[in-house]
Amino acid sequence: MTRILIVGHKGQLGRALFNTSTEHELLGMDLPEYDITDAASTQYALRDMRPQIVINTAAYTNVDGAEAEPDLAYRINAHAAGYLARFCEELGASLWHISTNEVFDGTRSGQPYDEWDLPDNTHGSTYARSKLAGENVVRFYHSRARIMRISWLFAPGGVNFPAKIVAAADRHGALRVVDDEFGVPTYAPDLARAIFQLIDMKAPPGVYHLVNGEAASRYEFAKEALRLTGRDHIPITPISHTEWQRPAQPPLRAVLANRAAAALGVTLRPWQEALADWADAFRGQ
């Protein structure tokens, strides 16, 4: 049995990891008890818990909010990731770090991004740049890190895109949703199972893209969420991203392909099937 520390265990993915059946011993680290932006307390906590594996799910994920709070975004997404990497290396613990599709600029058309493609989003949002900095600092401090990129994470009971869509539909009675931004939805329970599969097979260090199948537009994702929750009568109009002004513009086509994990036999089902499970849980709330 392996002692695994889940950093950010109160978030969507952290909860999914704790709810996944496993023989491993699971520990949690999250606010307010632990602040990973404090290097000294983080080092003390890791030395006290002595995990063999650390899964870092903690992140500042408010893409628009990061434009107003860049220092906080970098402290959490980059500096804290560096502290974890450095102290894991000192303790001999392996680090599994969650990153994002937004490390790519999303200008590639017709072909997804593979794990070996070089990330570059130097002109993207503050969130994107902070997450790319996090990847780089993890690689710098830890010799055997696994970096797992995901996109459009959603989970039962979480604050996520389909939940916001359903709430907005109920509130307004009609929706306008961007149809020229593409990604691959990632269902937290499926992602959690995939991570444990990779851990159990002792997957080699490197980058893994773990997402649920093929690409979707925001419009397609929203339309299916409405259908599965019995709201397909609510009008939904596709619009261009230029018609939806926001502080930070995500990459328009940062679509990830799962090559590395799939080569080891680890894949996630289509996002439509995962969204159906999400809708079942949503109706039961």
- In the chain, domain spans: 3-159+184-214+254-270
Nearest to 84 by CA among 103, 98, 70, 71: 98
- Rounded distance, CA 258 to CA 114, Å? 7
Q: What is the pLDDT of residues 210-228, one digit of tens each?
A: 999 989 999 999 999 999 9
8 phi-psi bin (left φ>0, alpha ψ -120 to 50, beta other): left
What average pLDDT does range 52-56 have in this prediction? 98
pLDDT confidence band for 100 (50 / 70 / 90): very high
- Among candidate residues 60, 113, 127, 208, the one labeled active-site is 127
The answer to whether 127 is a known catalytic residue is yes
**pLDDT of amino acid 217:** 97
Pairing of strands 182-183, 216-217: antiparallel
Sequence-distant (≥ 6) Cβ neighbours of residue 151 within 8 angstroms: 100, 101, 102, 183, 184, 185, 186, 211, 254, 255, 256
Fold of 3-159+184-214+254-270: Rossmann fold (3.40.50)
- Rounded distance, CA 115 to CA 260, Å? 7
What average pLDDT does range 247-261 have in this prediction? 95
Residue 121 has pLDDT above 90, yes or no: no
pLDDT confidence band for 247 (50 / 70 / 90): very high
Q: What is the pLDDT of residues 6-53, one digit of tens each?
A: 999 999 999 999 999 999 999 999 999 999 999 999 999 999 999 999
Tokens 């599969």, located at residue: 197
Q: Is residue 138 a contact partner of residue 199, using CB atoms and an 8 Å limit? A: no
Is residue 10 classed as helix, strand or coil in its secondary structure? coil
Q: What is the pLDDT of residues 143-197, one digit of tens each?
A: 999 999 999 999 998 789 999 999 999 999 999 999 999 999 999 999 999 999 9
